[in-house]
Amino acid sequence: MKRRVKLMFPQVLIKEPVIFTMAKKFDIMPNIRRARITDTVGEMVLELEGEAANLDEAVKSLSEQGIDVEPVEGDVLE
Amino acid sequence: MSYVRGLKCRECGREYPIEPIYVCEFCFGPLEVVYDYDRIKADLTIDKIRSRPTNLWRYRELLPIDGDPYVGLHAGFTPLIKADRLAKEIGVDELYIKDDTVTHPTLSFKDRVVSVALSKAKEFGFDTVACASTGNLAHSVSAQGAAGGFRRFVFIPASLEHSKIVASLAYEPNVVAVEGNYDEVNRLCSEIANKYKWAFVNINIRPFYAEGSKTQGYEIIEQLGWKAPDHVVVPCASGSLLTKIWKSFEEMHKIGILKELHTKVFAAQATGCNPIATAIKSATDVIKPVKPDTIAKSLAIGNPADGFYAKQVVYNTGGWGEDVSDQEIIDAMKLLARTEGVFAETAGGVTLASAIKLVKTGKIKREGTTVICVTGNGLKTKEALEGHVAEPFRIKPKMAFFEEILAKIGN
C-alpha cells in the first residue's frame, strides 16, 4: 500500500535521520519527491510504501515526535 | 471546441493531458489547467460575452470544458452591489459587494465550482459524483448532481448537526456519515477517491472544479465596466478562490479585455482558523496547519491545499491578510444586513470584518474601488446570530399598545 504525505519538521528535528529511522523500524519504503528546508522549518513531500498497519504505526510515530503529517492534497472536507 | 492546452504542475511545470488527475506523478505538486490564450484572445470579445445568457458559461472559452455545459445553466452572474451606505460606515470612497448569497441553485459560490466540475465529469464519462463536505459543497453537489442525473455520494463527519445536512438530504443523495475526527474523514475520502472511479469533485476533479471560481472574477470585471478593482477582499478556506480570482483578472488582462491591472488582493480569515493570514503576517512561506475553532465553518480548513499559492498572490499584488474574531464576524454580518440588505453567512462576516480592519490599518486605502466577495447566504448559518439579534416588540392587538412602542422607538 502507498500513501502520499507531506511532512513538516520542527527545527529541532531537521538534523535527525527521522525518515531513515522510520523506514527501518516499520519496514517502510520512502520515496522523496520534494523537500525544502528554511532556517526554521523543514518540509518534505514523499510517498510511503508498506503494509497498511505499518504505515499507520509509522505515521503515528512521526506525529509523536512532533512532525506534522498531512495528506498531499490538503484537507478535502470543505 | 476547447481552448484548453492541458494540465500543468504548479511546482515542477511538467505538463499532462486532460484527465481526471490532480497531482503531478513526479513531485506530487497540484495540477492547474492551462489554456491557449492566443486563440482565446482572437476569439473572445466583449461583444461576444455580452450576447450570451447571463450565467457563468458566458466566459466558456476560459473554462475547462470541450463541449456544451451540462449543468449550472442558471448559476453565476450574481449582483455586484454598489454599497454606498456601507462604504460610508467603513470609510472608503467606492465599495462593491459581489453578492454570491443568491447564486443558483444552492445560494453559495460553490454552485460555480460544482457547475464546472459536473459538466467536466459528464465529459469524462462519470456516472457518479462525490464530495466531502460539512455544508455548501454538499448542498451544491446534491442539487446539481440531481439535476444532472448523477448518482451522488456525500461524505460528512458523523458529528455534524442534523440541521446542517437537511439542505443536502432534500435532494436525496447517498449521505455517508463517517465516525471519526476531521483528519480521519479527510483521509478516508482521499482513499475512496483514489480507489473508486467516481468524480470526487474536490479531489480528482479538483483542477477543473477550482476553475469555476474564476467566473466570480470575470463577473466583477464585467460589472465594473470591464475594469479591475483597486482592492479585492476574498475569504480564504483552501485559498483556491483567492488564487482563481487573481487568475481571472490576469487572464482578462492577457486576452486584452482588461487594459490595465493593478489590483491588490487581500485574504480574509477567521482568527479561529487563520493559517494563511498568519503566514502572510509573519512573512513565511510555510503554511502551518491549525485545528479550526470558529463559527465560520465554511472557512474552517486547517490545512489549506492552496494556502501557499494564495499567500504568493497576496504578496505579489501588494495586498495583505487579516483575521477576525467570532464577535467581529457577527458584528459584520449584522452591519452588512443593516446597511445593504444583504444577509451573508458567517464567511461573509469574515470578509467584511477583515476589510474593516484592513481599512483601519491603512492596508486598504480610502481612495479607489474596493470589492468585497461575499460567498454564501446567511440562511445557511442563521444559528450564528442566535442571541445576537434584537427581540421583536410583542404587543396586544390594540392600537394604543402599538403607539406606545412607536413612541419608544422614536424616529
A52 touches B: beta carbon within 8 Å: no
For residue A34, the SS3 value is: strand
A69 touches B: beta carbon within 8 Å: no
C-alpha cell at B21: 488527475
| Residue whose C-alpha is closest to residue B97's, from B383, B399, B305, B335 | B335
Domain of B203?
Answer: 110-207
For residue B132, the SS3 value is: strand
Q: Provide the mean pLDDT of chain A.
A: 91
pLDDT at B411: 67
Residue B68 identity: D
Nearest to B301 among A33, A43, A78 (CB): A78
Domain of A44?
Answer: 2-71
- Residues B215-227: tens digit of each pLDDT: 999 999 999 999 9
Whether residues B165 and B197 share a domain: the answer is yes
Full-model pTM: 0.95
What is the chain A residue with the closest CA to B237? A78
Cross-chain Cβ contact B11/A34 below 8 Å? yes
Q: How many domains does chain B have?
A: 3
Whether residues B151 and B271 share a domain: the answer is no
What is the chain A residue with the closest CA to B292? A75
User: What gap in Å lies between CA B113 and CA B133, rounded to an integer?
Assistant: 14
Task: Give the ipTM of the model, two decimals please.
Answer: 0.91
A49, pLDDT greater than 90: yes
B333 belongs to a structural domain:
yes
What is the chain A residue with the closest CA to B12? A34
A77 belongs to a structural domain:
no
Chain B closest CA to A25's CA: distance in Å?
23
Low-confidence ranges of chain B (pLDDT < 70): 1, 411
What's the 3-state SS for B49-77? HHCCCCCHHHHHHHCCCCCCCCCCCCCCC
Chain A residues whose CB is inside 8 A of the B187 CB are 71
Cross-chain Cβ contact A77/B288 below 8 Å? no
A78 belongs to a structural domain:
no
Whether residues B298 and B186 share a domain: the answer is no
User: What gap in Å lies between CA B198 and CA B7, rounded to an integer?
Assistant: 19
B49 belongs to a structural domain:
no
Mean predicted confidence (pLDDT) in A33-37? 88
B239 belongs to a structural domain:
yes
A41 touches B: beta carbon within 8 Å: yes
Whether residues B251 and B280 share a domain: the answer is yes
Cross-chain Cβ contact B182/A75 below 8 Å? yes
Whether residues B230 and B300 share a domain: the answer is yes
- φ/ψ of residue A37, rounded to 5: -125, 125
B138 belongs to a structural domain:
yes
CATH code assigned at A15? 3.30.70.260
Cross-chain Cβ contact A76/B303 below 8 Å? no
pLDDT at B385: 94
B71 belongs to a structural domain:
no
Q: How many domains does chain A have?
A: 1
Chain A closest CA to B304's CA: distance in Å?
6
Nearest to B303 among A33, A40, A70 (CB): A70
pLDDT at B134: 82
A37 belongs to a structural domain:
yes
- Residues B99-138: tens digit of each pLDDT: 999 999 999 999 999 999 999 999 999 999 999 998 899 9
